[in-house]
Amino acid sequence: MLRLNLPTEPYWVELPALGVRIKVRPLDSALYFAARSRAIRRAQEIQREAADLVEAGVTVGELPDVSDPDAWSGYLEYMIAQAYGEMAIVDWEGVGDADGNPLPYSRETAGALMRVHQVAEQFISQYTAPYVQLGAEKNGSGPAPSGTLAAGTPTANAVATVTARAAAASPAPAGTDARTSRMSRKR
């Protein structure tokens, strides 16, 4: 039986290893699809921009190498984490600027916080955990009481699942093959 006991009010996600607490809106279908859509749209913009720069003979520089599937997959995961950060986070504790002064929450800094891979991984894992567990309950294979993953579903797979779905939904720029971008043909 599927039990609908998901959070309905903002709550705190604890990242104790980093000394950070992040207050979030509950994840629901609207926020999930909006974050995924934002990440895909931004990723497609980056693909187009990189291809245009290469076609113009300009060095790509700071943009990810869209012809490298591993680099591109990592970048897409980052874009998804950044979208969750911007759309879900409403406050935090334990985040500081370069001088160690407390940094007030803002939507822009919430997205930037996801540049720290330890934050992004832990945040996504914990933020999506209630929904991953809901799916595990539905399938009759929830985590073991001992806390081991041997009898359960690891919550870290949530990002991989979202990323795989987003990558599948992300069409290649017009005039390219999904496996061969304009950039990779030129190399």
| Average pLDDT of the residues in 117-144 | 77
Provide the whole-model pTM: 0.66
Residue 143's pLDDT is what?
A: 54
Q: For all residues of the chain together, what is the average pLDDT?
A: 77
CA-nearest of 39, 49, 35, 38 to 173 is: 49
Q: Look up tokens 């950044």; give the residue.
A: 82
Residue 174's pLDDT is what?
A: 46
- The answer to whether the beta carbons of residues 43 and 88 sit under 8 Å apart is no
3-class SS at 187? coil
Give the percent of the chain with pLDDT over 70.
68
How far is residue 124's CA from residue 113's CA, in Å, rounded to a whole number? Answer: 12
Q: pLDDT at residue 176 above 70?
A: no
How far is residue 77's CA from residue 5's CA, in Å, rounded to a whole number? Answer: 28
How far is residue 33's CA from residue 142's CA, in Å, rounded to a whole number? Answer: 25
Q: Which sequence spans correspond to the domains of the chain?
A: 11-182
Q: Which residue has the higher pLDDT, 68 or 31?
A: 31
pLDDT tens profile 67-101: 788 988 888 899 999 999 999 999 999 999 999 99
Residue 80's pLDDT is what?
A: 93
Residue 157's pLDDT is what?
A: 46
Residue 108's pLDDT is what?
A: 87
